[in-house]
Amino acid sequence: MNSVRAFEANFDGLVGPTHHYGGHSFGNVASTGNANQAANPREAALQGLAKMKALADLGYRQGVLPPQERPALWMLRDLGYTGSDAEIIAAMSNTPSGFLSALSSASSMWTANAATVSPSADTQDGRVHFTVANLQNKFHRAIEHKQTARTLKSIFAHPQHFMVHDALPMLAAFGDEGAANHTRLCHDYAEQGVELFVYGRQHWGGQIAPQHYPARQTREASEAVIRRHGLAASHTVLAQQNPAVIDAGVFHNDVIAVGNQNVLFCHQDAFLASDQVYAELTAKMAGQLHIIEVSRDVVSVADAVKSYLFNSQLLAKPDGRQRLVVPEECRNTPAVWAYLQALQASNGPIDELCWSMT
């Protein structure tokens, strides 16, 4: 029998036809800053498809998650609206404009928030485990999880190989934002890795928390995912996100850190106790971890948020190095672009930049 070696697959979301800048995400500086700007759903969808095609052409396994039904008329019917689709939409004229806007959000395209995924090499039962994110902190996102679960259960349908868990309870104590606060590190995709879970606050506990913007991921939610997926304590790390950067607009860990295989690329201010986090990760990675820490003196947190530097994608190359797919905003932020040029020339583990995929 031919054995199939483990591999990483990328799944991107497809932008839906109701894509617009609603500014619903308090704590996401980019979201609120772009509120009410003109949007082009068709162009956005084509850009996304071009990026997926470019990665497929480079040899990466690429999938796509379809957009969800928007406006979410099923939600309006649950809330007591009756009549045809057109009649329900017409009835919305008597409600605040933000209500229909939220119910029309195409935010499910951000698949980092779809679920947390643990590969079979890490789990107790040898299956790939998914926990769908509840996204309970924001109304326009909290309505996604049922459709996300149906989609993932349709794609990963073989019970011998996959387990898709429904979202955690829709309670503040178990706020779960999915893979946006989760990083899997390893030496080889087929081998047991180390899973890093980053949380913003502890619901039951006296830890320091942000004061201005909400911490969306709780420690309790991360611990529940670890239990569900059957992960070993020897190969998991729980780390608290720096509350100061949450208050600076870093609403998810993937706005301040990204990792792949044995590379962790992060900002100096990403974690509350960076030295402890690095030490635990390095120990659990058997001393073989490349930590690329970006100094606040080189790239400020504000520039990291503005450019979405760490909301990039790290992709393994056949030669053992990594390519970094960065947003166009990185080229338009001088300090960030200067840093990336130096990073590419540094002969380190990241030696290639990709910024235009169309």
Strand 128-132 and strand 115-118: the pairing is antiparallel
Residue 18: name the closest of 71, 55, 79 by CA: 71
* Amino acid 265: pLDDT: 98
Q: Residue 2 — very low, low, confident or very high, per pLDDT cuts 50/70/90? A: very low
Using a pLDDT cut of 70, give the percent of the chain over it. Answer: 95
- Domain topology for 9-70+105-354: L-arginine/glycine Amidinotransferase; Chain A (3.75.10)
Using CA atoms of 236, 240, 246, 251 in order, give the dihedral in degrees to the nearest 10: 20
Rounded Cα distance between 148 and 138, Å, is 16
Residue 27 clears pLDDT 70, i.e. is over it:
no
Residue 237: DSSP 8-state: E
Rounded Cα distance between 209 and 207, Å, is 6
Q: Residue 356 — very low, low, confident or very high, per pLDDT cuts 50/70/90? A: low
Residue 32 clears pLDDT 90, i.e. is over it:
no
Residue 282 clears pLDDT 80, i.e. is over it:
yes
Within 230-333, residue ranges assigned H as helices are 243-246, 274-284, 301-307
Residue 31 clears pLDDT 70, i.e. is over it:
no
Within its chain, how far is the Cα of 181 from the centroid?
6
Overall pTM > 0.85: yes
**351 φ, ψ (degrees, to nearest 5):** -125, 10
Q: Residue 1 — very low, low, confident or very high, per pLDDT cuts 50/70/90? A: very low
**Overall residue count recorded for the chain in this entry:** 358
Work out the average pLDDT over 146-152: 97
Residue 261: name the closest of 223, 295, 230, 288 by CA: 288
Q: Residue 71 — very low, low, confident or very high, per pLDDT cuts 50/70/90? A: very high
Q: In what order do the strands lie in the sheet with 257-260?
A: 257-260, 263-267, 290-294
Mean pLDDT rounded to a whole number for the chain: 93
CB 310 within 8 A of CB 241: no
223-276 pLDDT tens trace: 999 999 999 999 999 999 999 999 999 989 999 999 999 999 999 999 999 999
* Strand, coil or helix: 87: helix
Residue 15 clears pLDDT 50, i.e. is over it:
yes
